[in-house]
Amino acid sequence: AQSVTQLDSHVSVSEGTPVLLRCNYSSSYSPSLFWYVQHPNKGLQLLLKYTSAATLVKGINGFEAEFKKSETSFHLTKPSAHMSDAAEYFCVVSASWRDDKIIFGKGTRLHILP
């Protein structure tokens, strides 16, 4: 079985400063990992995905995430926050083709301070 833990329910950063959203996963098999973003009253959008190729994954809007197997982590980062980044972010795990469940974390609400 797989699970995902987002370590912070809320994160606040000032505009122009770095963003770090933390995610730890648990999986019986080599996982696929994703980050999705949901802006207020909007649908879910894929930011990036890890599928066992490069461990550093680049996504849209300047976001990237690093897969660290030894730490079972997949933290999301961005060098410089923008006001438009204010949203809820979800870390998602899928444990390969053997288990088709796709499990979401509880989400991290990112607040951007002017």
Partner 1 sequence: NAGVTQTPKFRVLKTGQSMTLLCAQDMNHEYMYWYRQDPGMGLRLIHYSVGEGTTAKGEVPDGYNVSRLKKQNFLLGLESAAPSQTSVYFCASRPDQQGARSNEKLFFGSGTQLSVL
Q: Which of 13, 24, 27, 32 binds partner 1 (CB under 8 A)?
A: 32
Cβ partners under 8 Å of residue 31, min gap 6: 2, 25, 50, 93, 94, 95, 96
| Span from 15-23, 27-35, 61-69, 72-80 in contact with partner 1 (CB under 8 A) | 27-35
The single-letter DSSP state of residue 83 is G
Q: Does residue 43 belong to the site contacting partner 1 (CB under 8 A)? A: yes
User: Rounded distance, CA 94 to CA 28, Å?
Assistant: 10
Task: Determine contact, residues 74/91, Cβ cutoff 8 Å.
Answer: yes
Task: Determine contact, residues 78/86, Cβ cutoff 8 Å.
Answer: no
Q: Does residue 34 belong to the site contacting partner 1 (CB under 8 A)? A: yes
Q: Tell me phi and psi for residue 77, to 5 degrees.
A: -135, 160
Residue (15 or 51) nearer to partner 1, CB: 51
* Closest distance to partner 1 from the beta carbon of 106 (Å): 4
**What is the per-residue binding string for partner 1 in 59-88, x denoting contact by CB under 8 A?**
------------------------------
Residue (10 or 18) nearer to partner 1, CB: 10
